[in-house]
Amino acid sequence: DLPYPTEIREYLYKILVIGDLGTGKTSIIKRYVHNIFSTNYKSTIGVDFALKVIQWSPDTVIRMQLWDIAGQEKFSGLTRVYYKEAVAALVVYDITRPNTFEAVPKWKADLDTKVSLPDGQPIPVVLLANKMDLQDEASVGLDGEEMEQFCEDNGFLKWFGTSAKDNRNIDDAARFLLEEIMHRE
């Protein structure tokens, strides 16, 4: 017998990252995939892609294909095309800008009307409250109980307070989402 497994299981998952303009979608992906952060804002045009390869266990490799969708695509009518065959999503808002939080249910509704799992169930979605490094009294939606209620009301599995700048909670959020995807396999 060989001392190691001969069969490696590989999974490819298409995961959407959506939310309003400037909330930090590209920054979160860059932090997660390349461990870099820049304060320069270069708005995404259309959609960008990133691949994160994860050795999930000794015999399991996960390829996360991250679809970084421009905030301005909210009104483009193209989201249906982008969402096709996605198995999960992250919805990002900016805790310093209330209007980006108010837009969260709209993004979620857009998702739910345009994509679902092969068995008809909604895809698993996690909410990211980003720019936590800028948190102050005026920050939006950080009360734990309120946020849990918001998640329940709007069909989010869970929320995480993240910072692309400080590399806060991004790995945890991604891991949680992957576990949810794996459960549904």
Residue of 10, 102, 133, 171 interacting with ligand GTP (CB under 6 A)? 133
Question: Which residue among 165, 176, 180, 184 contacts ligand GTP (CB under 6 A)?
Answer: 165
Q: Is 182 in the site for ligand GTP (CB under 6 A)?
A: no
CB environment 37-62: b (16+ within 10 A), e (fewer): eeeeeeebeebbebebeeebeeeeeb
Span interacting with ligand GTP, options 8-16, 140-148, 151-159, 160-168, rule CB under 6 A: 160-168
In whole angstroms, give the CA distance from residue 127 to residue 177: 10
Q: Which partner in Mg ion, ligand GTP, none is near 21 (CB below 5 to 8 A by kind)?
A: ligand GTP
DSSP lists the bridge partners of residue 16 as 67, 89
Residue with tokens 């939080």: 101
Q: Binding ligand GTP by CB under 6 A: which of 82, 131, 159, 177?
A: 131
Backbone angles phi, psi at 65, to 5 degrees: -95, 105
**Does 22 contact ligand GTP by CB under 6 A?**
yes
Measured CA to CA, the distance from residue 74 to residue 78 in angstroms comes to 8
Binding partner of residue 139 among Mg ion, ligand GTP, none, CB under 5 to 8 Å per kind? none
Q: Which residues bind Mg ion (CB under 5 A)?
A: 25-26, 44
